[in-house]
């Protein structure tokens, strides 16, 4: 293998011209013969026993050339990239030069994207908005009510159905007197007001008692299933039982039942501390992401399209995994939303570009600051993660390799360089109130101490009311597909064929 030339192109691409020598090509042709001889029929020879020369004479000298090229090219490409010291991204476009393939070998040109040169802008002393963490009594009350709701129970009652009750019903639907498929149920528990049935159904159960039966007129919505959309039907309904929800009182007994605390006050204090910790973590991550977006927006780099496309594909795969975790087939989702892979990739280009720029910025900071990670730091990270996820240390190491942990630590150090020197600005809507002007009163003149200015206050945090969640692990880059996992700079890749041949 000889690298004849390396030509730099626009958009961080290079064209590498590589020669496969006669000796290398002969070895590839022999491999192709050994692989294909069992599939070639030659009169007078059993399958697989015909000499190569005989097959070439019968079918032509170049009978094995195509397979030989497929065998030789990936290896030659990989060697050429390695010897040229190129940091390639994605798969190359390959063409045979002058279509000249023969005993003397062949020459090909591979056009491939390379990791771009990055010029950092300002990454120290960057400023971004940072919300003030505040937990109110209403926040604690809301969390307590959520806990009480989870501890509630349904109790059978002898009275008429009202909103909020759960009615245990038998029902069957009829279209012009004929029962339709999917319109029947027995002992179904329906919460009145939940909106889980066709509009108008639940409201017509209000006022019924256990044992009562009646017909309910319903018109299906126009966007319902095609066979029932817009139709007027009749449901025959029987109420078997009426249940009401009983929510426990918020008192010391409740605190003992749901926690390790003896009093409601202790439980409230613990809830307040947990909400504060959650919001601190959320604010911290949002602040880091805002800073990194500014740093990423200030870099100069000729980003190849291959990096953006690869990031789009990662987003798509992560999205498919999230759907799978929810039990939703990707194909079914596409039909329901009129979405296809092409549109997803197109819509993902903007967030993918932001993500790639963040990855490039972090990698450039690591290089500029000469950041490194010791083996001791990797081991400590393993231990903290094992404790966090409740896993055995050795089991965690089987699932998470050391290079990945090392890369995460490097990213964290790069983020720390930005954050530690950053300036926090007031978040929009959090205008600081000025202290009240000092007033002199008659009592003050008579010797009463002057009152101190009122303490500074901020507006209520916009994110109050967020759902309870565990503090997220430290992140380096902003997510794109809503809620997704920490991103890392793309790893080096070779050709798809090379990967296939290596298997």
- Per the prediction, the chain carries an average pLDDT of 85
Q: How far apart are CA 84 and CA 95, in angstroms?
A: 19
Chosen domain end from 55, 83, 114 = 114
Which residue is associated with the tokens 């209403």? 138
228 and 98 belong to one structural domain: no
pLDDT tens-place values along the chain, 503 residues long: 899 999 999 889 999 999 999 999 999 999 999 998 888 888 888 888 899 999 999 899 899 999 999 999 999 999 999 999 999 998 999 999 877 788 889 999 999 999 999 999 999 999 999 999 999 999 999 999 999 999 999 999 999 999 999 999 999 999 999 999 889 999 999 999 999 899 999 999 999 999 999 999 999 998 888 888 899 999 999 999 999 999 999 999 999 999 999 999 999 999 999 999 999 999 999 999 999 999 999 999 999 999 999 999 999 999 999 999 998 889 888 888 888 888 889 999 999 999 999 999 999 999 999 999 999 999 999 999 999 999 999 999 999 999 999 999 999 999 999 999 999 998 776 654 444 444 444 443 344 433 333 333 333 333 333 333 333 333 333 333 333 433 333 333 333 333 343 33
DSSP character string of 126-156:
-EEEEPPP---HHHHHHHHHHHHHHT-EEEE
Q: Which of 363, 365, 372 lies closest to 303, judged by CA?
A: 363
- Contact, 54 vs 457, CB < 8 A? no
Residue 122 lies in a domain: no
Residue 51 lies in a domain: yes
Q: Which two tokens stand for residue 434?
A: 């000025």
**Alpha carbon distances (Å) from 363 to 115, 155, 381, 488:** 11, 60, 20, 9
Report phi then psi at 94, rounded to 5.
Answer: -115, 140
Q: How far apart are CA 21 and CA 121, in angstroms?
A: 46
Using only C-alpha atoms, the chain has a radius of gyration, in whole angstroms, of: 34
195 and 334 belong to one structural domain: no
Residue 183 lies in a domain: yes
224 and 278 belong to one structural domain: no
201 and 312 belong to one structural domain: no
Residue 187: CATH number of its domain: 3.10.50.40
Where in the sequence is the domain holding 233, given as residue range(s)?
Answer: 153-246
Q: How far apart are CA 475 and CA 408, in angstroms?
A: 9
- pLDDT for the residue 475: 38
38 and 171 belong to one structural domain: no
Q: Which of 183, 188, 164 lies closest to 173, judged by CA?
A: 183
160 and 218 belong to one structural domain: yes
pTM > 0.85: no
Residue 207 lies in a domain: yes
- pLDDT for the residue 430: 60
- Contact, 14 vs 111, CB < 8 A? yes
- Contact, 316 vs 348, CB < 8 A? yes
Total domains in the fold of the chain: 3
Residue 54: CATH number of its domain: 3.30.70.1050
Residue 384: CATH number of its domain: 1.10.3120.10
217 and 285 belong to one structural domain: no
* pLDDT single digits (tens) 347-390: 999 999 999 999 999 999 999 999 999 999 999 999 999 999 99
* pLDDT single digits (tens) 18-44: 999 999 999 999 999 999 888 888 888
Q: Is 160 helix (H, G, I), strand (E, B) or coil?
A: coil
Neighbours of 486 (CB within 10 A): 14
353 and 384 belong to one structural domain: yes
Residue 127 lies in a domain: no
């Amino acid at each position: 293998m000889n690298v004849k030339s390396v030509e730099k192109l626009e958009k961080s691409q290079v064209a590498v011209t590589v020669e496969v020598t006669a000796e290398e090509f002969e070895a590839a042709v022999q491999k192709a013969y050994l692989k294909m001889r069992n599939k070639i029929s030659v009169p007078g020879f059993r399958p697989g026993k015909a000499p190569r020369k005989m097959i070439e004479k019968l079918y032509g000298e170049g009978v094995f050339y195509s397979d030989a090229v497929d065998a030789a090219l990936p290896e030659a490409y990989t060697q050429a990239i390695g010897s040229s010291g190129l940091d390639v991204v994605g798969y190359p476009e390959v063409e045979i030069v002058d279509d000249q393939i023969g005993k003397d070998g062949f020459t090909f040109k591979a056009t491939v994207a390379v990791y771009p040169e990055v010029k950092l802008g300002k990454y120290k002393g960057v400023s971004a908005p940072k919300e003030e963490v505040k937990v109110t009594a209403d926040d604690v009350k809301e969390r307590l009510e959520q806990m009480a709701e989870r501890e509630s129970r349904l109790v059978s009652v002898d009275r008429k159905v009202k909103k909020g009750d759960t009615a245990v019903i038998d029902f069957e639907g009829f279209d012009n007197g004929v029962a339709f498929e999917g319109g029947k149920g027995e002992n179904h528990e329906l919460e009145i007001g939940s909106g889980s049935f066709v509009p108008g159904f639940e409201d017509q159960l209000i006022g019924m008692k256990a044992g009562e039966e009646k017909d309910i007129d319903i018109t299906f919505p126009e966007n319902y299933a095609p066979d029932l959309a817009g139709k007027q039907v009749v449901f025959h309904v029987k109420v078997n039982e009426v249940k009401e929800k009983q929510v426990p009182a918020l008192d010391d007994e409740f605190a003992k039942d749901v926690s390790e605390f003896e009093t409601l006050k202790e439980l409230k204090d613990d809830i307040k501390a947990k909400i504060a910790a959650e919001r601190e973590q959320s604010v911290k991550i949002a602040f880091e992401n805002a800073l990194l977006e500014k740093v990423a927006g200030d870099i100069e780099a000729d980003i190849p399209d291959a990096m953006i496309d690869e990031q789009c594909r990662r987003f798509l795969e992560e999205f498919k995994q999230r759907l799978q975790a929810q039990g939703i087939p990707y194909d079914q989702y596409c039909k329901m939303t009129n979405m296809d892979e092409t549109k997803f990739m197109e819509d993902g280009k903007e967030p993918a570009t932001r993500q790639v720029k963040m990855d490039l910025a972090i990698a450039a900071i690591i290089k500029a600051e000469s950041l490194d990670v010791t083996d001791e730091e990797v081991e400590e990270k393993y231990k903290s993660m094992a404790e966090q996820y409740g896993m055995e240390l050795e089991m965690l190491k089987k699932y998470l390799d050391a290079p990945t942990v090392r890369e995460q630590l490097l990213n964290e150090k790069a983020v720390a360089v930005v954050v530690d020197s950053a300036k926090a600005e007031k978040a929009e809507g959090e205008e600081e109130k000025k202290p009240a002007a000092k007033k002199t009163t008659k009592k003050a003149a008579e010797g009463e101490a002057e009152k101190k200015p009122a303490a500074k206050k901020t507006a209520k945090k916009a994110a109050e009311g967020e759902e309870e969640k565990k503090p997220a692990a430290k992140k380096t880059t902003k997510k794109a597909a809503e809620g997704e996992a920490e991103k890392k700079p793309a790893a080096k890749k070779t050709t798809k064929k090379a990967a296939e041949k290596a298997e």
